[in-house]
Amino acid sequence: MSKSGSLTKIEVWRKTKEEVLLSMDKGKIDPTEADRILKFISTTLKMVSTIDDLGRYCAMLEEKFPILKSTIDSFRLQEEEKLDSAVGQVLDKLIKGGKLDTASLLLEEINKIEEIPQKIEVIKHRHPQELEEVYGKIFNQRK
């Protein structure tokens, strides 16, 4: 999706910086390593331009700096919760619009899918207008 969720570059910077500094305070990494990580993030994060890029960037950070795993996992959970909310709101919108059969068929189809992003893709193809309206309410930024 090309929508940008509330997970912004600023939030990634703020939370990863916090994690690096806490790790340094706890003795998990030394100040030189903390400086290297923060310098890397501050110079590379500005190249991210879409939510898809941001997702890939976070995955790369987790691989390159395992110390950030818990922070990156919390980003993923936060975004999954918002996507899950979008699924429910699209179904509610269809039901309120009197499209019970459509909502029922969609629910049946997406219940066969485990990953929330794939559920969103199904909805995107079947009900793009409803999804667009829901995204406007759930996600506070667009890209």
Rg over alpha carbons for the chain, rounded to the nearest Å, is 18
pLDDT, position 141: 38
pLDDT digits (tens, 9 = 90+) for 38-63: 999 999 998 988 777 888 899 999 99
Is the pLDDT at 127 greater than 60? The verdict is yes
Q: Is the pLDDT of residue 22 over 90?
A: yes
Please give the angle made by the CA atoms of 132, 138 and 139, to the nearest 5 degrees: 80
Q: How high is the pLDDT of residue 2?
A: 35
In one-letter notation, the amino acid at residue 87 is V
Instruction: Quote the CA–CA distance of 57 and 118 in Å, as a whole number.
Output: 20
Alpha helices in 26-127 (DSSP H): 31-44, 51-64, 69-96, 100-111, 116-126
Q: Which of the two residues, 6 and 37, has the higher pLDDT score?
A: 37
Report the predicted TM-score, pTM, of the whole model to 2 decimal places.
0.62
Token output for 89: 């709101």
